[in-house]
Amino acid sequence: MLRFFAFIVISLAIMPAMAATTTSQALAHKQAGTPVTADNWMISAANPLAVEAGAHILRNGGTAADAMVAVQSVLGLVEPQSSGLGGGAFLVWYDGKTGSITTLDGRETAPMAVTPQLFQDKTGAPLKFFDAVVGGLSVGTPGTPALLQAAHERWGRSPWSSLFDDAISLASDGFDVSARLASLIAGDKDRLARYQPTADYFLPSGIPLQAGDRLKNPAYAKTLHTLAMTGVSSFYRGAIAADIVDTARSPDTNPGLLSAQDLSIYRIKERPAICTSYRGYDVCGMGPPSSGGLTVGQILGLLEPFDLAALGPQSADAWRLIGDASRLAFADRGRYMADSDYVPVPTRGLLDSDYLAERSALLDGSMALNDVDPGNPPFDTALNWSDDESNALPSTSHISIIDPFGNALSMTTTIENAFGSRLMTQSGFLLNNELTDFSFRSHRNGIPIANRVEPGKRPRSSMAPTIVLKDGSVMLVAGSPGGSRIIGYVAKTIIGVLDWGLDAQQSVDLPHLVNRFGVYDLEAGTSASDLSASLTALGYKVKVRGLNSGLHIIVKQDGTYFGGADNRREGIALGE
């Protein structure tokens, strides 16, 4: 990790790209702390094989939507712990012709047979997290396949059937297990061993896969071939759907409630983008059921009156402002944000300029805020909600693409916890545990919780795929995995670029300091820990710990694309 003071020096090494970037060059850029540059298109995502698959599509005339299908198909194979066909995703799209922003909600849905007591024991007490996660009880209706097709139908140019070629070849011929995947398998081997098909895949002969092992997945290749030839209707009906339901409801898997009907009625939803102004830029993201766009927007809105540029990234006072702005936004998140199809969410009120100015005034002091409570935003419908209580230890991935046609795509994709429910279908992919993103409690002190479990409802998410515009044109495409810390990672990256003038790779490499609920998490092994004493003196409880983001961003400046990929993971940026 680079030190803060090195950022400006490194930026002098940036030169515009003259040709396509190779994978080895992309890795060298990332390790050196310099962005990949290009003039025509750019992809940044979580695995080199997936990025190369997307690059192949763009070189052959495809759009960002086409490339995303190829990237996601490979990600589901080479980093199955993070995303795949058995999960869900949120997508933000910028149209290069019209300048419009569209968002697609591919979030999983709760089975129609659930009740708000899904994750409670017979006494009404919440289950322990992993007692709920592992097995079919936590599985929601997957949305990713439907999202792939919906994006392609709206914005694709390449033949649908051609978009899976690289993933099918890799699944059939095999790929080398990465060090990261091997480490995660070893760390989770006891849970992976609970369901035999999962154990057979990740723990052959009872031994966790090792880095460099050649891994094939013919079942996944067959599934992708079926999707390529017949479309995703074959996923939501027929043999694949039956396989999903049988896996989730198996009596050997902490059986769940997912049904064939749940799959057959699943639909992608196009929703209004959440856009807020910051420093003269429009920051656009995903609205409910994601809390990402609203909470990032609130954090930036609360910080608007303060001169972060003058303070700089080494300033404890800058991080006091950022940390307490985050705490205020997270208090509102816990009270008000959930699936807006089920509960009224004060979307406009949470971003109302007068409301944000009132909340921002709380940051005017010189010490950390003592108590942080939800505010009272303007609300179209007067409702009383209790504060959320949910657990999340997710594993997620992010894809950022700008294509030769000027379209931009930001998509965050997940199966929630690492390896999801730990249920491997006979069709070659893992099923999500997304239902554990709901509050395990349904009420608190007799008052309902907005993010409680309900039939057909989509659990609240922290995913924050983001596109930043300047005068109607794309300036930044960003997103990250990381559970509820995603919001802080994305906000920090936007501040790094817009306030502190960092380039794409510098802003990704910027050490993490995240405060959601009062404790200030500082990224271990980085210069963030240098601020520990100063933040403690300001009144914070501080914890130095690993903070494993997966930021993948693209910055556009003077007609050139600059791609950054997170050194904390194995992804790269490629462009030409």
HSE (CB half, 13 Å, CA atoms) of 566? 26
- pLDDT tens digits in sequence order for the chain, 576 residues long: 333 333 333 333 333 334 678 999 999 999 999 999 999 999 999 999 999 999 999 999 999 999 999 999 999 999 999 999 999 999 999 999 999 999 999 999 999 999 999 999 999 899 999 999 999 999 999 999 999 999 999 999 999 999 999 999 999 999 999 999 999 999 999 999 999 999 999 999 999 999 999 999 999 999 999 999 999 999 999 999 999 999 999 988 899 999 999 999 999 999 999 999 999 999 999 999 999 999 999 999 999 999 999 999 999 999 999 999 999 999 999 999 999 999 999 999 999 999 999 999 999 999 999 999 999 999 765 455 555 555 544 579 999 999 999 999 999 999 999 999 999 999 999 999 999 999 998 887 778 888 999 999 999 999 999 999 999 999 999 999 999 999 999 999 999 999 999 999 999 999 999 999 999 999 999 999 999 999 999 999 999 999 999 999 999 999 999 999 999 999 999 999
Architecture in CATH of 4-174+216-270+390-575 = 4-Layer Sandwich (3.60)
Label each residue of 115-153 as H, E or C.
CCCCCECCCCCECCHHHHHCCHHHCCECCHHHHHHHHHH
Under 8 Å between Cβ of 155 and 403 = no
HSE (CB half, 13 Å, CA atoms) of 53? 30
d(C-alpha 563, C-alpha 504), whole Å: 6
Residue 154 to residues 63, 234, 315, Cα–Cα distance (Å):
11, 20, 45
DSSP for residue 94 = E
Q: Which residue is catalytic, options 253, 396, 425, 493?
A: 396
19 alpha carbon, distance to own chain's centre = 30
The closest alpha carbon to 282, from 91, 494, 487, belongs to 494
The closest alpha carbon to 180, from 83, 70, 82, belongs to 82
Provide the whole-model pTM.
0.94
**Residue type at 409?**
L
347 annotated active-site: no
Beta strands 36-38; 394-402: pairing state: unpaired
H/E stretch holding 245 reads helix 239-249
Complete DSSP assignment for 403-472 = -TTS-EEEEEEEEEETTTTS-B-TTS-BPP-GGGGSBS-SEETTEEBTTB--TTPPPPB----EEEEETT
pLDDT digits (tens, 9 = 90+) for 344-400: 999 999 999 999 999 999 999 999 999 999 999 997 654 555 555 555 445 799 999
